[in-house]
Chains A and B, each alone.
Chain A
Amino acid sequence: MKEITVQQITDAVRTLCMDVSFDLPRDVEAALTDGLAKEESPFGKYCLEQILHNCHLARESRQAMCQDTGIAVVYLSVGQDVHIIGGSLTEAIHEGVRQGYEDGYLRKSVVEEPLFERSNTGDNTPAVIHTEIVPGDALRIMVVPKGAGSENMGAVKMLKPADGLEGAKQFILDTVRNAGGNPCPPIVVGVGVGGTMEKAPMLAKQALTREIGSRNEDPRYAKLEEELLEAINNMGIGPQGLGGRVTALAVHIEQYPTHIAMLPVAVNINCHAARHKEIVL
């Protein structure tokens, strides 16, 4: 059995929280560069140029590319042959978030409870942690900080099976159209279809972490991804919602088996700062 200490986990999360805020994934940067070449609107071009310039500044000066460094969503894939020693796994992650957000001069954006005082916890904890147990002896940690501008624009709907493909398409496109310029386009659109009422949004968020340009393995879903991307880019929303051709950089769909009487569909929108970073211990 492989032993991993909680200290290793805290250190990894601390580093990930900082790096993910400073260093935009290269696939996202490449998609923005590609978008700049395609964009026809002068405002759209200007926005994309500024976004790329900011991305370089953030990487060089190790500063948060966006002041909204998000609530930290942490995905853990724990190999079933891993033994975590020296303390609590959950606490180790929260401690990593605490240290990363403090040492990286990242904004603390988490409030203690949602309805009454909404007082800031002051250290960006707790993280939202999703854990899965997988075969093997590796521990994979992925940090996906999510800002409110884009997270607030997501939606989930329990469609009827009779609504079918057309109903799902309409819901996805309506969600993106209603979001308009709010979620900082160009966006990445994550779609989860199937499962249950909590499974579909989980899939939608995970879909955001797929490499841009990758396609669903099922050719029918891959074709749907392309079709939706084209429809979204025909809406005219454009970078920052000021009008243009490049509204989305990608549409990623993840599907899962569902009940005979269900058709859950979830949409999770990411801003152009589509941040995610992982480490394997």
Chain B
Amino acid sequence: MSEIKRVTTPLTEEAIKDLHAGDSVLLSGVIYTARDKAHKRLCDTLAAGKPLPVDLQNQLIYYVGPAPAKPGQPIGSCGPTTSSRMDSYAPILMREAGLKGMLGKGPRSKEVVDVMKEQTAVYLAAIGGTGVSISHAVKKAEVVAYEDLATCAIRRLEVEDLPCIVAIDCQGNNLYEIGVETYKRDM
């Protein structure tokens, strides 16, 4: 594993181009949470030609539905959810809303990777099932849209040094393919 790179949002094209599949990253700044239902609403809003409830230009979406916060904590357990469920929406948000980063877990579709290359965007992976550790990196959380969706609402998170890995970079280098190819044994 490489040296750790520190990345702060909003994401600049320069910063994104410096991230390569396999880099370890500590992510800081403001990020937004969204899952399937919120994505559908965002894309429906764009299709209707209306403004989004949050400005996603140069921003990063974290695919997560957190557990409720215990008293005195900003958020409960909050590890990544399976990113592929958002594959049909992500290209729209990159092309039409200026989304530059995604944080989740698991592989993405070819279409998502193609649009990441076209739009210079990056896909980071956090470790699924480590929600308590990840919650320690979240300093502040507030619902900013779609409150009726409860855990699936859009939250604005302030994070400090959230550990993740560059899974797919803006050149389309894909750790899910490279890594598996490296360790595959002939069957």
Contacts and interface: CB of A to CB of B under 8 A. Distances in A.
Contacts of B181: 236, 243
Contacts of A238: 179-180, 183
A57 B129 contact: no
Contacts of B133: 50, 53-54, 57
A187 B113 CA distance: 26
A67 B106 contact: no
B1 A46 contact: yes
A245 B69 CA distance: 36
B182 A181 contact: no
A51 B130 contact: yes
Interface residues of B, number: 47
A54 B132 contact: yes
Given A67-B66, A148-B82, A242-B176, A43 B1 contact: yes
A57 B128 CA distance: 15
Contacts of A42: 1
B88 to A, nearest CB: 15
Contacts, number: 165
Interface string B98-132: 00000001110000000000000000010111111
A54 B129 contact: yes
B67 interface: yes
B70 A242 contact: no
A8 interface: no
Contacts of B37: 118
A13 to B, nearest CB: 19
A108 B131 contact: no
Contacts of B167: 242
B175 A242 contact: yes
B170 interface: no
Contact of A242 (B65, B78, B125, B131): B125
B185 A236 contact: yes
A240 B107 CA distance: 10
Contact of A51 (B64, B84, B125, B127): B127
A6 to B, nearest CB: 27
Interface string B146-166: 000111000000000001010
Interface string B61-102: 000111111100000111101101000000000000000000
Contacts of B182: 41, 236, 243
B178 interface: yes
Contacts of A68: 65, 79, 81
A182 B127 contact: no
Interface in A240-273: 240-245, 271-273
A65 interface: yes
Contacts of B135: 63
Given A182-B84, A242-B175, A105 B129 contact: no
B184 interface: yes
Contact of B131 (A41, A54, A122): A54
A243 B183 contact: yes
Contacts of A51: 127, 129-130
16 contacts: A54-B130, A54-B131, A64-B77, A65-B131, A66-B77, A68-B81, A105-B69, A107-B67, A107-B68, A182-B105, A231-B187, A236-B181, A236-B185, A241-B179, A242-B165, A244-B183
Interface of A: 40-44, 46-47, 50-51, 53-54, 57-58, 61, 63-69, 105-109, 118, 120, 122, 148-149, 152, 180-182, 184, 231, 234-238, 240-245, 271-273
Top-9 shortest CB links A-B: A243-B179, A236-B184, A236-B183, A54-B130, A184-B128, A234-B185, A67-B77, A64-B77, A182-B106
Given A51-B127, A105-B67, 16 more contacts: A40-B183, A42-B1, A50-B127, A58-B77, A63-B135, A66-B79, A66-B128, A67-B64, A68-B65, A106-B68, A180-B107, A181-B107, A234-B185, A238-B180, A242-B165, A244-B179
